Amino acid sequence: NMTLFFSSPIGLGHITRDIAIAKEIARSFNYFDFDFITGSKAFDFICNENDSSEESKFNAHNLYFPPEFSIDDGKLSNSLVWLLKYVSYFRKSKIKVKKLLSTRDKNLETTSLIITDEDFASLSVGKDLNIPRILITDILRTHFIRNGLLSNIEKFLNNSMCSLIKSSDCVIIPESGDNRDNFVYVGPIVREIKATRDELRKRFSFNKKTILITTGGTSAGHYLIKRAVESFMRLRKRFDCDLVVSFSSNISLNDQGDKSYRNIGFVNNIHEFVYAADLVISLAGKSTIDECLVYGTPGIFIPIKNHFEQEDRAREMGFSYEDINNLDIIIEENLSGSRLKKERKASNGAAMAATLINEYLNK
């Protein structure tokens, strides 16, 4: 009997950590029967993962079509529009999940456990149907909207989200913190890397000090890539270093710039590049920050402006959106070693998450 694993398709951070957990459960407890339900780029990601991975193949369903954030020049605009689109997406998703579960019932497949990574539609349906639920989340409330009446809409949404979260049997939080009630803090969850850093550097031909710019699977980071490449062009006369860029769509940067760095395109194993690099420049997405923390790679994290999660996370790491204007100085400090390494190495929470989930798989 397959266990349903719902993974939010908004960004790629959810699917990558969920794959890390599923692989850990397979390795430690010999359990392979997960059905992943996601959509959009996250679905493509898991399909690529299946193509490239020898060990485990995941069943995946392309169920969700999430709304896109509208981002101009690194600033999130129209957050109300996004919120309303999200509410409509949530409603449509609930209908799809109900349909999926009732089809399973007709096929005499019982659903005895739902695991969900920030996919509130499946959490809500699971609650209505009284199915045990494990939630993986690092958001306990949102604050996208700053002004009066509209923030009341968000307050209402937050309250319903909070009660959904509290009603879960177990809430796994991939941060460090103190457990309370049904909340268990396991620390950052990232994919395990078998190779050593030197092996990876050889494989990727990282022969000099290497800066990696990566902004995830969305177009949100175009402005950051442009600005970081410009900084690199100015600094490379003084520092003997290479630049590797990972972006999926074709951003046209100036011509001479195109020869000065290597674009690896969008790759499924970006975490290995993060481990091998000497410095990472990225948006303040959770998965890249967590990878830097666990693998011990210094990073510069520029958040999307008005994106509450990214701004909070960047602040914790000592950065803000305004740092986009100081990139030269910050990169230089990192390359010359004058920036004190504050990065504490975190341990990978995947094993702890796997152990918690395994207890429920055996109930």
Residue 343 lies in a domain: no
Alpha helices in the chain (DSSP H): 13-29, 40-52, 79-106, 120-128, 148-166, 197-203, 222-235, 255-260, 270-276, 286-295, 308-317, 327-336, 350-361
Same domain as 142, residue 64: yes
Residue 326 lies in a domain: yes
In what helix (H) or strand (E) does residue 300 lie, and over which residues does it extend?
strand 299-302
The predicted structure's pLDDT at residue 162 = 84
Nearest to 19 by CA among 1, 2, 32: 32
**pLDDT tens figures, 277-290:** 999 999 998 999 99
Number of domains in the chain: 2
Same domain as 273, residue 172: no
Q: State phi, psi for 118 to the nearest 5 degrees.
A: 55, 30
Same domain as 249, residue 154: no
Same domain as 164, residue 290: no
CATH number of the domain where residue 235 is located: 3.40.50.2000
**pLDDT tens figures, 164-181:** 899 999 999 999 889 998
Rg value, the chain, Cα: 21
- Calpha distance 161→16 (Å, rounded): 23
Beta bridge partners of 183: 171, 180
Same domain as 306, residue 355: no
Residue 341 lies in a domain: no
pLDDT of residue 186 exceeding 80? yes
Nearest to 288 by CA among 297, 50, 332: 297
Same domain as 179, residue 34: yes
Same domain as 152, residue 14: yes
Residue 51 lies in a domain: yes
Same domain as 79, residue 135: yes
Residue 342 lies in a domain: no
- Residue 99: how many CB atoms within 10 A of its CB? 12
Exposure string for 341-358, b = 16+ CB within 10 A, e = fewer: eeeeebebbbbbbbebbe
Provide the whole-model pTM: 0.88
Percent of the chain with pLDDT over 70: 86
Nearest to 142 by CA among 191, 76, 218: 76
Burial of 225 (0-12, 13-18, 19+ CB in 10 A): buried
DSSP 277-297: -SEEEEES-HHHHHHHHHHT-
Residue 318 lies in a domain: yes
Same domain as 122, residue 57: yes
Same domain as 223, residue 184: no
Residue 344 lies in a domain: no
The mean pLDDT of 3-19, rounded to a whole number, is 93
The mean pLDDT of 45-58, rounded to a whole number, is 79
The predicted structure's pLDDT at residue 147 = 60
Nearest to 143 by CA among 77, 79, 72, 70: 79
- Calpha distance 35→33 (Å, rounded): 7
The parent domain of residue 253 ranges over 197-336
pLDDT of residue 340 exceeding 60? no
Nearest to 115 by CA among 25, 216, 217: 25
Same domain as 296, residue 210: yes
Same domain as 250, residue 308: yes
Lowest mean pLDDT across 53-62, 185-194, 219-228, 288-297: 53-62
- Calpha distance 46→210 (Å, rounded): 28
